[in-house]
Amino acid sequence: KKIVIPSLSFFQNELKGEGVVKSRRTLGELAGIFENQDAYSQLPLDQLAYEVYSYLPEREGTPGGLYFGITQLYPGKVGDEYFMTKGHFHQQEDRSEYYWGLEGEGMLILMDRERNTWAERMMPGSLHYIPGGVAHRVANTGNSVLSFAACWPSDAGHNYEEIANKGFSARLVEVNGTPKLR
């Protein structure tokens, strides 16, 4: 039986923007997340790193509701690190989330409260359960756009602070052409 996955065109054509919020992050907005500052400073700050199409049918903070989003993460590297999302814990720590791969290749980087970091390969059809209390970030390890979908509770919220200040306890870097946690 064919599995039908929601695509970006579904979002653009079917939802006609109703309740759909489009947000974007440039490399300039990712300042501080990459290790190699020289490589980072050579890239244009206004270069687009990723876009998120979110369907937010409930008011933010509504208990019991669900949000849905598609992230399009562009390919690229900063030194030996891949373009990646900012990464966050949830504001309400115990809230969990699903990510699933739609297009392209990537790695989901996860870190628990004890700062143990691990990673899961993302590909079309891969499903990733992110338990509460686990920070999450995605890196595009391929040469094309990485597209993934997400579903999270409407009262989860995003807490970027700890990751912005302390990062993850391991970095995903390219070693001899393959992604490795270091």
Which positions touch Ni ion (CB under 5 A)? Answer: 97
Residue 151 one-letter amino acid: C
Q: What is the CA radius of gyration of the chain?
A: 16
φ/ψ (deg, to 5) at 137: -150, 145
Minimum gap (Å) between residue 43 Cβ and Ni ion: 26
Q: Confirm or reject binding of residue 87 to ligand PA5 (CB under 6 A).
A: yes
> Residue 50 CB, nearest distance to ligand PA5 (Å)?
7
Q: Please, are residues 76 and 140 in contact by the beta-carbon 8 Å criterion?
A: yes
182 interacts with, out of Ni ion, ligand PA5, none, CB within 5 to 8 A per kind: none
Residue 80: count of CB within 10 angstroms of its CB: 17
- Do 143 and 75 form a contact (C-beta atoms < 8 A)? yes
Quick check: 150 binds ligand PA5 (CB under 6 A)? yes
The reply to whether 52 sits near ligand PA5 by the rule CB under 6 A is yes
Give the integer Cα–Cα distance in Å for 135 and 113: 8
Among 43, 82, 83, 85, interactor with ligand PA5 by CB under 6 A: 85
Site residues, ligand PA5 (CB under 6 A): 52, 69, 71, 85-88, 97, 150, 152, 158
